[in-house]
Amino acid sequence: MQCRRQYRVHSVFLKIHFLYVILKLLELIRKYKYSKGLLLMNQETQGLSKQQIKSRETRAKIFQAAKRILQKQGYEQLSIKNICEEAGVSNGSFYHHFKTKDDLLSYYIEEQPSMDPDLLELPSSAAETKEAIISVYLNYVHYCEELGVEFMANYYTPKNQSLNPLIRTERPYPIVTVHDYLKRVIESGIISPSADLEDITTDIRMIVIGNVFEWCLKSGDADFEGNMRRSLTTYLNGLF
């Protein structure tokens, strides 16, 4: 009996000790993430004035509010009024940063994620050209994954005019990046595609949208990156 009692006490002690270790590890992870976040924030805001930092924070607050509405209620409920109420900002503050709700979504979803600046240097071959284009969209895949499948599923709707290529702004959208890159490569004589440049960028845009839609349709349970690479590779191989 005494041995059993000692065993139980020892077992309880081990469980408590194990729980303590787990909690300490979680605390260390939390502190690491917090310090890393502060470091990134300091790097991003270094050299900015207080007003510029505040403006960035407000823009981010507005976007996060829009993101929550999209995730929970869908595009139908994504009005400027609802965004402002969710973000706790005035209508004037919203219009100071964005022209419309689609302008807001367009800015964040289509803004080219950070990439290696050397990635899109003039290539030496057709193979390098293809890999550079694919890399742009694999980077975009990762950006979509960061935003989340719920956000993307509600974003890709015909009612969202920020998807309309006819109203593109001067921001570096992935498709604009690829368009300008291909133009340079073609003019340099590195590749001679079998289709017109405008048709190529339109085709690529539709391939990308199709992959995003498939990923959303399967609630994220799809090989998003693999499918994007495979479909773009197949298309580009048929061009040059």
Residue found by looking up tokens 């510029």 in the block: 52
User: Quick one: pLDDT at residue 204?
Assistant: 96
Task: Yes or no: say if 62 and 104 are a contact pair by the CB < 8 Å rule.
Answer: yes
Averaged confidence pLDDT in the chain = 81
**Structural domain of 93:** 51-98
Q: What totals of helices (H) and strands (E) does the chain contain, helices first?
A: 10, 0
- Asked whether residue 147 is domain-assigned, the answer is yes
Q: Do 185 and 94 reside in the same domain of the chain?
A: no
- Asked whether residue 93 is domain-assigned, the answer is yes
Q: Do 82 and 172 reside in the same domain of the chain?
A: no
Q: Do 219 and 232 reside in the same domain of the chain?
A: yes
| 214/230 Cα distance (integer angstroms) | 14
Q: Do 131 and 227 reside in the same domain of the chain?
A: yes
* Length of the chain in terms of residues written: 240
- Asked whether residue 113 is domain-assigned, the answer is no
Least confident of 14-23, 105-114, 225-234: 14-23
Q: For the residues 219-240, what does the mean pLDDT come to?
A: 97
CATH of the domain at 58: 1.10.10.60
Number of structural domains found in the chain: 3
* Greater model confidence, 195 or 23: 195
Q: Which of 188, 187, 183 is nearest to 200 (CA)?
A: 183
- With 80 as the cut, is the pLDDT of residue 178 above it? yes
- Mark out the alpha helices in 46-90 (DSSP H runs): 50-73, 80-87
| 228/71 Cα distance (integer angstroms) | 24
- With 90 as the cut, is the pLDDT of residue 228 above it? yes
- With 50 as the cut, is the pLDDT of residue 40 above it? no
Q: Do 55 and 31 reside in the same domain of the chain?
A: no
Taking each helix axis from N to C terminus, what angle separates 2-45 and 50-73, rounded to the nearest 10 degrees? 120
Which pTM was predicted? Answer: 0.69
Per-residue pLDDT tens over the stretch 10-20: 565 555 655 55
Q: Do 131 and 213 reside in the same domain of the chain?
A: yes
| 83/187 Cα distance (integer angstroms) | 45
Least confident of 35-49, 112-126, 190-204: 35-49
Please state the φ and ψ torsions of residue 19, each to the nearest 5 degrees.
Answer: -65, -40
Q: Do 157 and 186 reside in the same domain of the chain?
A: yes
Q: For the residues 66-92, what does the mean pLDDT come to?
A: 91
Per-residue pLDDT tens over the stretch 141-168: 998 998 889 888 888 888 777 677 666 5
